[in-house]
Homo-oligomer: A and B are copies of this chain.
Amino acid sequence: MTRRRGPSKGDRRERAILTTARDLLTRKPLADITIDELAAGAEISRSSFYFYFDSKLAVVVALLHDLTGELHAGSSPWLDGTGPDEEALRRSLTGLAAIWSGHGRLLAGALAAAPGCPPIAAWRAGLRDAHVKRLAARIERDRAAGLAPDGPAPAVLAGLIDDLRLAAFAGAADPAGLVDDMVLVELRILYGEIGETGAAG
């Protein structure tokens, strides 16, 4: 309700809160961060914090929204393409891995808080839906063109792949090191064994 138009002064404070939050999140989990610290980082008192954000979670939501663009970026070549385009997939996953490397704590903390924080859940759901929708469409295209085998409903399969990405990168110490393996796994999920790879009876 407060804080409508007015593009100046306290704007820097708002930024300061955001960057402080980003900072702290690289050092400790969200639950261990107190509003006091956030306020201190912006050199205002705890109660002044509430002039800028409604709660700690609101800060996280803002941080999250900043990430939305980055999360979408770089995966269009893959999602809008056709067939087992390994390179496009690798580029998509490399981008994702980079984000997880830089903002893993934020994402992990936020996602953990999602049940119980509707805005965060909504953000995640939106992101997921967007990905699933495009990927499901891709799968349908591939199947129609005879490029991919039949299997689970495209939306379900796409959902599983989205889940897998989240789980894999969230848990990984070094997301970037997982990219090649993820490429292979996703291709197998979508296309089954492709080309030669050595064995296979």
Contact = CB atoms under 8 A, between A and B. Distances in A.
Interface of A: 29, 31-32, 108-109, 112-113, 115-116, 143, 146-153, 156-157, 159-160, 163-164, 166-168, 171, 178, 180-182, 184-185, 188-189, 191-194, 196-201
Contacts of A29: 115-116
Nearest to A142: B199
A185 B191 CA distance: 11
Given A112-B113, A146-B199, A157-B185, 8 more contacts: A109-B115, A149-B197, A150-B197, A150-B200, A163-B167, A164-B164, A192-B193, A192-B200
B189 A150 contact: no
A149 B115 contact: no
Given A192-B188, A192-B200, A181 B157 contact: yes
Contacts of A113: 112
Given A116-B32, A188-B192, A194-B192, A201 B147 contact: yes
A contact face: mostly helix, strand, loop, or mixed = helix
Closest 6 CB pairs of A and B: A192-B193, A163-B167, A150-B198, A167-B167, A152-B181, A149-B200
A115 B115 contact: no
A171 B163 contact: yes
Contacts of A178: 156
A151 B184 contact: yes
A14 to B, nearest CB: 27
A163 B168 contact: yes
A156 B181 contact: yes
15 contacts: A31-B116, A32-B116, A143-B199, A150-B196, A150-B201, A152-B185, A153-B181, A156-B181, A160-B181, A163-B164, A188-B188, A188-B192, A189-B189, A191-B200, A192-B193
Nearest to A153: B200
